[in-house]
Amino acid sequence: MVKAGNNSKSFAKTVAVKAVKAAAKGAIFYLAYLVAWTFISPLSDLVPGLQQTIEAFVMVYFVLIIVGEFASGSIFQYFFSAAKILFVIGYMMYTLNGGVFGITIENVSLMVDLRLFMLIAVVLGLLGLAKTMLQAVSYMSEKAEPKLV
Amino acid sequence: MNVSIRMIGIATTVFWIFVVIFAVSAMYSVKDLRFEFGEPQASVTSEGKMLLSMPITIVNTGYYNIRNFNVTTLIFDAENMPIVQGSTSVPIIQKGREITTSHNITFSIADLLQKSERYLFEDVALRAEERIGLWAAEVIPVEARANISLPWGAPLYNFALGTPQYSAYNRTHMRAEIPISFENHAFFDLACNVGVRMFDDSSRLLGAGATSVEALQHSAYDGSLTMYVPVPTSDTSMTSGYFEVNFASSLFSFGPMVIHYG
């Protein structure tokens, strides 16, 4: 009875710590977004839909940060971490139209070639994915090792 | 393994921070980039070609240099065939600097007339394509294109020779006054020699004359040309026939153009 009470107390404490950590990470991420947005906002008049595109990205990434933090300590945190990286790569490729981004305003068409920037971002993303996979393998191998009595 | 994983994590985080800061600051820098296009000026070069010159001021108060700034103007005729191309490049624009350059387009009116004589006598709507290219923050290629309609004003718009007015000169010849009129719709002043040869219906040369005409841009010209023609006999008639007109100026020469009279 006492053991069950201790277990539920410990679980609640773990969840509380995770919630605080998730809130802190989310707050830092949102703060970084707000700072970045003050620099990017002048372009929102020029690029239609820029704010919506960035906000959608921030929302999904924010959710993945929170969920990933709650899943920490289990194998699922690596799934969410991988999902986060794949989402960044996929969303970037989709919104930047494969690296060549074009818009037409009245009779002026503007083309920005972001392929180099995107290549660097994809390589960094893949590096992050490799790191997550190594972490998952490490986590599983640690679990599989017989515990010394 | 844990150490290597941690090292990969630190490296990717550092690079991500660098990439995000660079991307955001590069985007912010675009805001501080300003282009000013001045009024185009037209002049004639020593080779007798038209020179259109447009001053461009580039103000770069962003965080990064701009490389390979390039302005290209392509002018297409009504059939969408390129007739004129001009390009201006600035290799590098340092941050915090202001650069003024001149975008020049040189073209020969004689070459233009080889494509079609209508550029001399008819106002034509041309299409101009402006391309501005640059490498923002020295690594991001950006290109802007704009299509604009460019009205071409004919220098000899509505050129016409009026009905010859005859007056007595001597026993064998008469003085013929031929009214000349046109409007100079071009963006340059026109000074050219007009040579006229008068023929009757049976293509017999009756007389020839020349005059120099001068018309300021966007102004009308009304003048006349004098020539001496033989007094008509029973087998010659001056009631109808045709003129052969030749034009010669420092910018172009054209002719003969046939205008019927009578």
Q: How many CB pairs under 8 A join A and B?
A: 70
Residue type (1 letter), B2: N
Chain mean pLDDT for chain A: 87
Residue B123 Cα, gap to closest chain A Cα (Å) = 24
- Regarding pTM above 0.90, the answer is no
Q: Where in chain B is the domain with CATH 2.60.40.10?
A: 32-152, 157-261
Is B258 in CB contact (< 8 Å) with chain A?
A: no
Report the chain A residue with the minimal C-alpha distance to residue B31: A42
The answer to whether the CB atoms of B5 and A107 lie below 8 A apart is no
pLDDT number for residue B233: 76
| Stretch A117-136: mean pLDDT | 92
pLDDT number for residue B149: 85
**With contacts defined as CB-CB under 8 Å, which chain B residues touch A117?**
19, 23, 139-140
pLDDT number for residue A147: 61
The answer to whether the CB atoms of B20 and A124 lie below 8 A apart is no
The yes-or-no verdict on residue A101 having pLDDT over 90 is no
Q: What percent of chain A has pLDDT over 70?
A: 93
* Band of residue A2 on the pLDDT scale cut at 50, 70, 90: low
The ipTM, to two decimals, is 0.78
Residue-wise DSSP of chain B: -HHHHHHHHHHHHHHHHHHHHHHHHHHHHHHTEEEEE---EEEE-TTS-EEEEEEEEEEE-SSS-EEEEEEEEEEE-TTS-EEEEEEEEEEEE-TTEEEEEEEEEEE-HHHHHHH-THHHHS-EEEEEEEEEEEEETTTEEEEEEEEEEEEEPPTTEEEEE---EEEE-SSSEEEEEEEEEEEE-SSS-EEEEEEEEEEETT--EEEEEEEEEEE-TTEEEEEEEEEEEEPP-TT---SSEEEEEEEEESS-EEEEEEEEE-
CATH number 2.60.40.10 given to B157-261: yes
pLDDT number for residue B235: 65
For chain B, residues with pLDDT lower than 50 are none
**With contacts defined as CB-CB under 8 Å, which chain A residues touch B136?**
112
The yes-or-no verdict on residue A146 having pLDDT over 80 is no
The answer to whether the CB atoms of B4 and A110 lie below 8 A apart is no
Tell me the H-state helices in chain A.
Answer: 2-40, 50-70, 76-95, 115-144
* Band of residue A59 on the pLDDT scale cut at 50, 70, 90: very high
**With contacts defined as CB-CB under 8 Å, which chain A residues touch B140?**
112-114, 116-117
The yes-or-no verdict on residue A1 having pLDDT over 60 is no
The yes-or-no verdict on residue A109 having pLDDT over 60 is yes
Is A10 in CB contact (< 8 Å) with chain B?
A: no
Topology (CATH level 3) of domain B32-152: Immunoglobulin-like (2.60.40)
Is A128 in CB contact (< 8 Å) with chain B?
A: yes
Domain that holds residue A31: 4-144
pLDDT number for residue A3: 58
pLDDT number for residue B209: 93
Contact map slice: B 130-169 vs A, CB within 8 A: 136, 139-148
Residue A149 lies in a domain: no
pLDDT number for residue B99: 92
**Residues in a beta bridge with B259:** B243
The answer to whether the CB atoms of B8 and A130 lie below 8 A apart is yes
pLDDT number for residue B183: 94
The domain total for chain A is 1
Report the chain B residue with the minimal C-alpha distance to residue A111: B143
* Band of residue A48 on the pLDDT scale cut at 50, 70, 90: confident
Q: What are the pLDDT digits (tens) for B122-156? A: 998 888 898 999 999 889 999 999 988 888 889 99
Contact map slice: A 13-52 vs B, CB within 8 A: 36, 39-40, 42-43
Report the chain A residue with the minimal C-alpha distance to residue B32: A42
The answer to whether the CB atoms of A107 and B16 lie below 8 A apart is no
pLDDT number for residue B169: 87
